[in-house]
Structure 1
Amino acid sequence: MRSLAEDIRSRTDEELVRLLLARPDLARPRPTDLTALAARAATQASTTRAVDHLDLRHLVVLQSCVALDGDAGPAAGPPDDGVAVPGVSALTGLDPELVATLIGDLHDQALLWRSATGLVPARTASEVLTPDVASLGPSLQAHQRALEPATAALLGQLDELSTEELTVLRRLAWQGPSARTPDPATRAGRAVADLVARGLLLDTSGTVTLPREVALRIRAGLADPPAPEPSKGAEHADRVAAGAVSELVADVDELLRQVDRLRPRVLRSGGLAVRDLRELSSRTGLDQERTLLLLELAGEAGLLADDHATEPAWRLTTLADEWHEREDAARWHDLALPWLVSLRAPLVPGGEESRGNALSDGLSWPPVRALRLEVLRLAVELPAGRADAAQVTDALRRSRPRRLPREADEVVRALLVEHTALGLLALDAVTTAGRLLAADPQDPGGRAREAVAELLPAPVTEALLQADLTAVVPGVPAPALADLLRRSATLESRGGAAVFRFTEDSIRGALDGGWVAEDLLEAIGRASATGVPQPLQYLVRDVARRHGTLRVGAVASYLRSDDPAHLESLARHRELGHLQLRQIAPTVLVSPASAAVLLESVREVGASPVLESGGGVVSSGPSRRRVPPPRRRGVTDVEPDAPGEVVTALRAAEDRPRRETGTGRSVPALDPVSSAALLREAAADRLPVWVGVTDAVGSTSRLLFHPRQVEGGRVHGEVDGSPRTLSLHRITGVGDVSPESLDDPRG
């Protein structure tokens, strides 16, 4: 009697190569010989992995083969003679030629094997696809229903059903075979009653059950839906994406500027406090969802990191200054590439226990790495303009029906939001850059960056200054212009033309950063296409005149001025009571508060102090300290050994002299998992096997063993007609027994 192991051993080199390509886990670590390969292919873990990676069409055909094998013997003859292809085709409604191809693929993956009567499902594949796991109900034959009309005619009624009736069947096909019978007065109740009357649902004591034959036909219909028509206007996707890229880079730039100013603390548990997230959202004018996404993008790009100080805070890294100076296409590239292989999932929904703060470990979700790329690649395959959440979710359901994440609709929607923000998707169509990164996320030649650079307008080097203290930048500002405006003005609005406003606070910030009034006016004049308006000149000089009339140091801190009356008014100010100011000289006040707190508090009441060092030298403001970027563990794709080399080594191992049993065949060395898989196969087929067993002192013996049951790390069976139980960890290997060996006196 043939087995899966014999089927694999009898395969040609080309067939073995196809097996290893389809199931690369079988070659890692490299098996010692073909018996070890067959044993590994029969294990629960490897079979489950193979079944989980089937797309919907292959899965439905395999489920049909399991159903037919359980009801009527072998599921399929050899693919070339088509013995059972008509049966599977009739059950699923798929084209016979397609079914033959799919059955051949399943045989290549050793999920079907060739018995004396045709192709049958591997036993572990049948165990993986039990009715409960596959969400299939019982067969019509199991209910001993008289199939009049015949099953094929019965399933042919599916084309005649109403939308409501099809909805009921689809829900049961995907979510489980049984449901309570609804109220007959409702639309669903009337639909269910009609389906029961047609024989498409089984009614048992207030519960309706969907037969597996109907479920398989429904699933097969969903596996190959008609392709939607392309949408008009999708040809403009690249131009829309160019705007998204410009906006993304500008928003990240502004967010980093605000982080540098706010210096939010790192929570004890890691991450950013919700209060600080709200504050950053308010300062940048972005909603919290986008702020969260941009923070994570900056973190993955290494622009933002924990400084690991005594009182840790989030600071910009040394890469941030370099990033600010680069052109927009390169800055986009720095954000997009790390994100495509990131484990971060800030927008993906999750339960309360699975969510974390921004930049915390709680937002890591390992499955998102594969999902993010798969969603993008599935969107590439859809017609232009049809890559919306519904279509991509359906495509994902067809691509990985057994590996769908919970709340798949919301997960896909979140990932599409990410792709749209990055300019990989626009108008429900994948952009040129998106297609290039879907093909190769590492973009080694920089083709995606070049594609984006061609779409972006030339950077603007001059702003339009107006008398109302605003500066209008009609386009994307060049790095030098953006840096000047970022330091001396406040971003007021975005769009095709960004508007910046000069204020006392923004000018004071520039002076704190080391600018001198005349140098600042000269720099603004060089960057202006219209000269420097007189109101802006007055503002800069007025702020500069008052800038530095007060000095802040540390006692914890002190406040000094040459104007005693000014100090006296501050000491009596109601809003400064928390500073506990006290006068130690006519020109000096001291406080237990830190210098930074004193500086900000005095500014809040309208004064213009500056920091000074312990030697009385005016400081240039808060330190622009940068921290090293965090070390990221690179993504390493584990490349399997070349299948051809593995097959050559397996063939050589078959010819190598080995330990001999009484029949001249060897007992191959196997790991316990593979040995257990072969013993389960032998027990199910009631066949004897040769086993190698070690005793307590390490010596090895060979036994002709009749396994009966494998459980709990032990195998129960018989040796020479006497019951015997062996521990799996003492079994060195398992070998088949040929009929001739049963008569061998040494057996």
Structure 2
Amino acid sequence: MSGTLALASAIASMDQETLAHLVRQRRPQSASNVSDPIGLATELLRADTVARVLAPLNRRQLSLLLTLSEADGSTEPYDPRVLSELTRLGLVGIQGSSSEALPEVTAALMNGLATAGIDPATLGDASAEIAPRDPQPDTHTWYAAALTAVGEGSETLRTLRDHPGRLNRSGSVAVATVRALSELTSVEPSKTSLILAALDRARLLWPEPSKQRLTPGANAPAWLALSCGERWLVLAQTTLNAMPQALRAALETAGSDLAVAASMLPTMFPLLPAARRQIAEDFVATTDHLGITVQGLLSEPAKHVMADDLATARAILASELPPPAPGIYVQPDLSIVIPGSLDPANEADLASLSRPEHIGVATTRRVSELSLADAIERGVTATTAREIFTRLSLTGVPQPLDYLLASIAERAGSIKVGEHHGDEGQSRVSVSRPELADTILIDRSVQHLQFMRSAEDRGVLYSKLRPEHVIAALNAARYPASAAASLRAGGLGSASAPSPGETSSGEPHLLTSDDTAAQLSPELENLVKRVYLAARSEPGTGDFTRLLELAIRDRGTVRVTAEARGQAYVFTLLPVSLSGGRLRATDTAAGMERTLPVSTITAVETL
């Protein structure tokens, strides 16, 4: 026996808000084909969608479903809160004024329990036991991981600004991009993936699937301009908001220990797939890396973030995070030691001139000819670079760095690359000395640029390749090339930032989460309106009409009792349509078609 009618009755009794909640949770696939409660009930009772909605239910909810299926019409009282939750999920039907188990749900539940190796008789007996860890992890060390994660996130955004990443066709980050970011930021690939996920949750990335490109989002500059503590607060808040629902429910029992909560999932949620349990464990690893937890135990500021008490969280950050470092130590080997976080402006200046070798509470960077060439390519002058090092260095400017800056200053501007729209190529290269242009023309390391000399000016070369490729290749070959002013104004090598109108919640995401509070799509919103109106319009109300609608959908035969002038008439009919308050059906016994007013029907029995 099907539970379609009982579920349709439950759906018809829902208000529009409850119906929207049901559709949001279940997300029927064939939304365009659903126009009434019967249609929605049919969609929701498909085996795959029933198994999917059962998976995250806890033992208490599963036990009530099992008890309801065994009730056999008894009036046994049920927990009204749990029963309401299950009804709102479309897992319980209504027969008359009583809740009724749905056969399709019961079958899926029994199959799931058998697959998980759980005896249905013991489902309501098991409880999640908490085994507190002894000794408890020391969460006072949270700030070390927090500072490291903020530094990694900041460096990742700056790197993506200058070197946009690539997305797969599915919209996920390409493995090659993770590997390249790892090399450029000196962060392990596994940790790079965690940082990318944290940045995405904080709306700091701008994935463009149509172009298969990943760049910083429009909010990234504002985030980079925040203090280190405020940057961490953004990452912590958005990460905790994205906690998987099952893990959040287990955490209510486990207190503040995410690791214990993750270990409780198999007991609390016996049908939860292994893949979703793994997601919960990965989430704990993410929070550990971000300093939100220490070995799975929530840190003090994270507890207050969870409670939406940001004022107290900020007070803890102010007292426990070390103050910004007064400066940096530039070593003769051109390495830079940063003994703590820097002021955001100083951090940005230093990042523009050097590359990271180690990111942590104390960070190590290195200045090289290539890093300075990249800075000059972005418009930084050698004079500006010297001023930055002089201002920040607590040990002055060592002789090797002074020599390198002088050399760069001497060569800076000797090769300018701009766009060209003529037949000669896409790039115009202006070389300050003709003899240097002669050298470039015969240099095998840049032959792939296909240079051609201008007939009018021996110091001008043309290339078939685009300017960004020419600049990168010349710098790699140790020729100090930089972008022409007009090209820099156009943002060479930078991410195409979205316009202000594109920075709202409509920004695309790389990841999906368990967040079911997302807005309904227009298609699903229209489904809710259609079903809600159909349940309240004639003749789409009442058990009789729903039985007839179901018979029409299934092409089934029904026995209809109708009354006219005080007499009852019984017909065996094959319903064809139901509209305008009238039932049109085929009477196979009489060999004719009948039309009956719905108002005269007093009973409908499915055969």
Q: Which residue of 1 aligns with 2:115?
A: 175
What residue number does 2:280 align with? 412
| Separation in structure 2 between the aligned mates of residue 432 and residue 394 of structure 1, nearest angstrom | 28
Q: 1:501 to 1:51 in 2, by over 3 A?
A: closer
- 2:127 corresponds, among 224, 233, 243, to 224
8 A Cα contact 2:55 2:269, kept in partner? no
Runs of 5+ consecutive residues of structure 2 not aligned to the other structure: 24-36, 508-514, 520-534, 562-568, 584-601
**Residues 66 and 121, structure 1, Cα contact 8 Å, conserved in 2:** no
Partner of 1:458: 323
The answer to whether the 8 Å contact 2:334/2:366 transfers is yes
In structure 1, give the amino acid aligned to 2:59: L
Distance 1:385 1:374, change over 3 A: closer
Distance 1:464 1:630 in 2: 39
Deviation at 1:326, TM superposition (A): 0.5
Distance (whole Å) between structure 1 residues aligned to residue 199 and residue 215 of structure 2? 11
Q: Please report how far the alpha carbon of residue 717 of structure 1 lies from its aligned counterpart in structure 2 after TM superposition.
A: 1.2
CA shift at 1:26, angstroms?
Answer: 9.9
Instruction: State yes or no: 1:124 paired with 2:64.
Output: no
Shift of 1:385: 4.9
Q: Which residue of 2 aligns with 1:601?
A: 473
Which one of 400, 423, 427 corresponds to residue 295 of structure 2?
427
C-alpha distance in structure 1 between counterparts of 2:542 and 2:176, whole Å: 54
Q: 3-state DSSP class of the match of 1:229?
A: coil
Q: Is contact 1:462-1:529 (8 Å) kept?
A: yes
Deviation string 1:544-567 (CA, Å, 9 cap, x unpaired) is: 112222333445334343433332
Partner SS state of residue 495, structure 1: coil
* Paired residues of 1:474 and 1:498 also in contact (CA < 8 A): yes
Aligned residue among 270, 275, 292 for 2:193: 292
- Paired with 1:123 and 1:618, the residues of 2 have a C-alpha distance of 69
Check 1:638–1:562 CA distance in 2 against 1; reply closer, same or farther (3 A cut).
Answer: closer
Q: Match of 1:716?
A: 558
Q: CA deviation at 1:431?
A: 3.1
In structure 2, the partner of 1:326 is 226
**Letter of the 1:57 counterpart:** R
Q: In the TM superposition, what is the alpha-carbon distance from 1:493 to its structure 2 partner?
A: 0.9
Q: Is the Cα contact below 8 Å between 1:462 and 1:527 reproduced in 2? A: yes
| Alignment deviations for residues 502-558 of structure 1 (CA, whole Å, 9 cap, x no partner) | 111122233334444344323222212222222222221122112222333445334
Structure-2 separation of matches of 1:415 and 1:677: 49
Q: Which residue of the partner structure matches residue 360 of structure 2? A: 495
Structure 2 Cα separation of the partners of residues 677 and 268 of structure 1:
47
Instruction: Give the distance between the partners of 1:591 and 1:44, measured in 2 at CA.
Output: 64
Superposed CA offset, 1:135-154 (max 9, x none): 38xxxxxxxxxxxxxxxxxx
3-state SS of paired residue (1:551): strand
- Cα deviation per residue 1:379-398 (whole Å; 9 max; x = unaligned)? 35315557257514325515
Distance 1:103 1:588, change over 3 A: closer
- For the 8 Å contact 2:325–2:342, the answer to whether it is kept is yes
Deviates more, 1:582-591 or 1:276-285: 582-591
1:66 equivalent to 2:69? Answer: yes
Counterpart Cα distance in 2 of 1:52 and 1:732: 41
Q: Indicate how the Cα distance of structure 1 residues 26 and 485 shifts in structure 2: closer, same or farther if over 3 A, else same.
A: closer
RMSD: 4.8
Q: Is 1:632 aligned to residue 533 of structure 2?
A: no
**Aligned residue identity for 2:330:** L
> What's the offset of the Cα at 1:415?
2.6
Q: TM-score, with normalisation over the residues of structure 1?
A: 0.58
Answer yes or no: is the 8 Å Cα contact 2:130–2:260 preserved in 1.
Answer: no
Between the aligned residues of both structures, percent identity stands at 20
Structure 1 residue 475: Cα displacement: 1.8
C-alpha distance in structure 1 between counterparts of 2:170 and 2:254, whole Å: 42
Residue 506 of structure 1 corresponds to which residue in structure 2? 371
Aligned to 2:527: none
Partner SS state of residue 471, structure 1: strand
Contiguous gaps of at least 5 residues in structure 1 = 6-15, 30-38, 80-100, 137-172, 178-213, 342-368, 640-666, 680-690, 694-706, 735-740, 743-747
Residue 477 (structure 1) aligned to one of 319, 342, 359: 342
With 312-321 and 527-536 compared, the bigger mean Cα shift is at 312-321
C-alpha separation in 1, matches of 2:166 and 2:183: 17
Q: 2:59 aligns with which of 56, 59, 63?
A: 56
8 A contact 2:431–2:437 mirrored in 1: yes
Quickly say closer, same or farther: Cα 1:315–1:464, change in 2 above 3 A. Answer: same
Mapping of residues 33-52 of structure 1, within 5 Å: none
Quick check: 1:259–1:314 contact (8 Å CA) kept in 2?
A: yes
1:325 Cα shift?
Answer: 1.1
CA deviation after TM superposition for structure 1 residue 55, in Å: 2.8
Aligned-residue offset at 1:255? 0.8
Determine if the alignment matches structure 1 residue 248 to structure 2 residue 116.
no
- Compute the displacement of 1:427 (Å): 1.4
1:446-465: CA deviation from partner (whole Å, max 9, x where unpaired): 65555555542222231122
Alignment of structure 1 residues 576-655 onto 2, 5 Å: 576-583=446-453, 584=455, 585-612=457-484, 622=492, 624=494, 627-628=497-498, 630-633=503-506
How many Å apart are 1:253 and its aligned residue?
Answer: 0.8
Change (3 A) 1:105 1:269: closer
For the residues of structure 2 that align with 1:247 and 1:316, how far apart are their CA atoms? 19
Match of 1:393 in 2: 265
**Paired position in structure 1 for 2:528:** none
Matches within 5 A, 1:281-320: 281-305=182-206, 313-320=213-220
Inter-partner Cα distance in structure 2 for 1:61 and 1:320? 48
Check the 8 A contact 1:508/1:544 in 2, yes or no: no
8 Å contact kept, 1:517–1:544: yes
Aligned pairs, number: 514
User: Is the radius of gyration larger for structure 1 or structure 2?
Assistant: 1
| Alpha-carbon distance in 2 for matches of 1:429, 1:228 | 13
Letter in 1 for 2:229: A
Does structure 1 retain, via aligned residues, the 8 Å contact 2:353–2:375? Answer: yes
SS at match of 1:491: strand
Residue identity in the other structure for 1:428: G
Query: Hey, what does 2:525 align to over in structure 1?
Result: none
- Give the match's secondary structure for 1:59: helix
Q: CA deviation at 1:58?
A: 4.1
What is residue 561 of structure 1 aligned with on the other side? Answer: 431
Q: 1:323 to 1:626 in 2, by over 3 A?
A: farther
Q: 1:448 to 1:378 in 2, by over 3 A?
A: farther
Mapped to 2, the partners of 1:51 and 1:572 lie a distance apart of 70
Distance in 2 separating the partners of 1:312 and 1:60 = 47
**Displacement of 1:54:** 5.4
Aligned to 1:571: 441
Structure 2 vs 1, CA of residues 732 and 55 (structure 1 numbering), >3 Å: closer, same or farther? farther
Aligned counterpart for 1:525 among listed residues 390, 409, 412 = 390
CA displacement 1:94-113 (0-9 Å, x = unmatched): xxxxxxx7599659978699
Tell me, yes or no, if the aligned pair for 1:230 and 1:384 is still in contact at 8 Å.
no
The Cα shift of 1:245 comes to 2.2
Residues 316/678 of structure 1: CA separation in 2 closer, same or farther (3 Å cut) = closer
> 1:578-600 CA deviation, whole Å, 9 max, x = no partner?
12223345433332222322222
Of structures 1 and 2, the one scoring higher in RCO (CA 8 A, sep 6+) is 2
* 1:271-290 paired onto structure 2 within 5 Å: 272-290=173-191
How far apart are the structure 2 equivalents of 1:254 and 1:465? Answer: 20
Tell me whether 1:372 sits opposite 2:244 in the alignment: yes
